[in-house]
Amino acid sequence: MNRGKLVFAQLMQHLPLTTFRRCVTRYRGTFKVKSFSCLDQFLCMAFAQLTYRESLRDIEVCLRAQSSKLYHLGIRSAVARNTLANANAVRDWRIYADFAQSLIGIARPLYAQESFGVDLQETVYALDTTTIDLCLSVFPWAVFRTAKAAIKLHTLLDLRGNIPTFIHISDGKVHEVNILDQLLPEPGAFYIMDRGFLDFERLYRFHEAGSFFVTRGKSNLKVQRRYSHPVDRETGLICDQSVVLTGFYSRQGFEAPLRRIRFKDPETAKTLIFLTNNFVLPAFTITELYRCRWQVELFFKWIKQHLRIKAFFGTSENAVRSQIWIAVSAYVLVAIVKKRLHLSASLYEILQILSLTMFEKIPLDQLLAQTMADEIQRVSDNQLILFT
């Protein structure tokens, strides 16, 4: 079906274009637009993400060098640096935010049966925040400190498939705990978070909604033990207790009992204290759930290394937000293609292959499947070794 089409065009065929047009209409993306459409902008920026372009001029030069193939890429207008810069600065970033959410809605069911290291049927989310440093003189709107600018990327990651289900972009001054106010708790789901999100009044809202949370307790946490449960100390568990908060403000914010688990990590010999409102799961499973929180740290590291979210093509807030949301769309799109084509390769390997074959006409499934299936043949015993 895809024979004769460019690899980039085959990849973009997995986009729900009807949904994209609805997003454009919702935010009046066609207002005063004559030639360079929002779809053209999205495709150019997605091309930049997938091929590791460094600047708007880089995008312009690369696409103009292949101007005879632009139509086959799906781009219906000539690509000019000023036109692309203006589109990034002016066109509403919410178009690409809503479209990224629609792609996430497609990807999550594809990974619903994925394993994440803990045998658990419920949905498990990891919540964390990463900071992207910026130059204050270039990005004056991203206030962080007196002589420094930054934005924060607050992310709720579904550990099945590492699909981001919620992303909020804020300036550097917004504390991560405030993001709990914007989340809609999912009954029965687990939310894994570090101590930066420890606010008992906000966590009580999750408890009332029937959600479970796992976090770490602070050193000055005041509790009173109600009951101690037996533990297997060979696993590293020290104690498993039912407690109530005794601090004045924490008690007012969270009146229900909590579960306090003390655990000594056999690898690091570090003692950790976990707090949760779940009293059913074994204590060791709670510690394993918190260990899986590291997946969100790896997600931040991965997108910073392999997507363009640290160096931006524009300096306005709208341009920065648009670029981040298009980067998220590219990440989720590759995850969708990986699942639909039943590929065993990692997202990193797929991105590396795509970055070098965008203008090829090999069927996408054949390209990715054959490339990963081909292995370097072992050197024959009779083959002379030229270099040692």
Alpha carbons 359 and 10: distance in angstroms, whole number: 11
CB neighbour list of residue 218: distance below 8 Å, 6 or more residues apart: 195, 198
What tens-digit pLDDT sequence spans the chain (388 residues)?
445 799 999 999 999 999 999 999 999 999 988 889 999 999 999 999 999 999 999 999 999 999 999 999 999 999 999 999 999 999 999 999 999 999 999 999 999 888 888 888 899 999 999 999 999 999 999 989 888 999 999 999 999 989 999 999 999 999 999 999 999 999 999 999 999 999 999 999 999 999 999 999 988 889 999 999 999 998 999 999 999 999 888 899 999 999 999 999 888 889 999 999 999 999 999 999 999 999 999 999 999 988 888 889 999 999 999 999 999 999 999 999 999 999 888 888 999 999 999 999 989 888 887 655 554 344 444 444 433 3
Give SS3 for 316.
coil
DSSP 83: H
Q: Which residues of 155-182 are buried (b: 16+ CB within 10 A; e: fewer)?
A: bbbbbbbbbbbbbbbbbbebebbebbee
Alpha carbons 189 and 280: distance in angstroms, whole number: 14
Alpha carbons 312 and 318: distance in angstroms, whole number: 11
CB neighbour list of residue 159: distance below 8 Å, 6 or more residues apart: 116, 124, 125, 126, 192, 292, 295
Give, to the nearest 10 degrees, the angle between helix 347-357 and helix 294-306.
10
Query: ∠21-23-28 over CA atoms, to 5°?
Result: 90
Tokens (6 digits) for 54: 């460094």
Pairing of strands 190-193, 124-134: parallel
Domains of the chain as residue ranges with CATH: 7-96+315-373 (no CATH), 195-283 (3.30.1370)
Do the beta carbons of residue 231 and residue 296 sit within 8 Å? no
Alpha carbons 216 and 160: distance in angstroms, whole number: 22
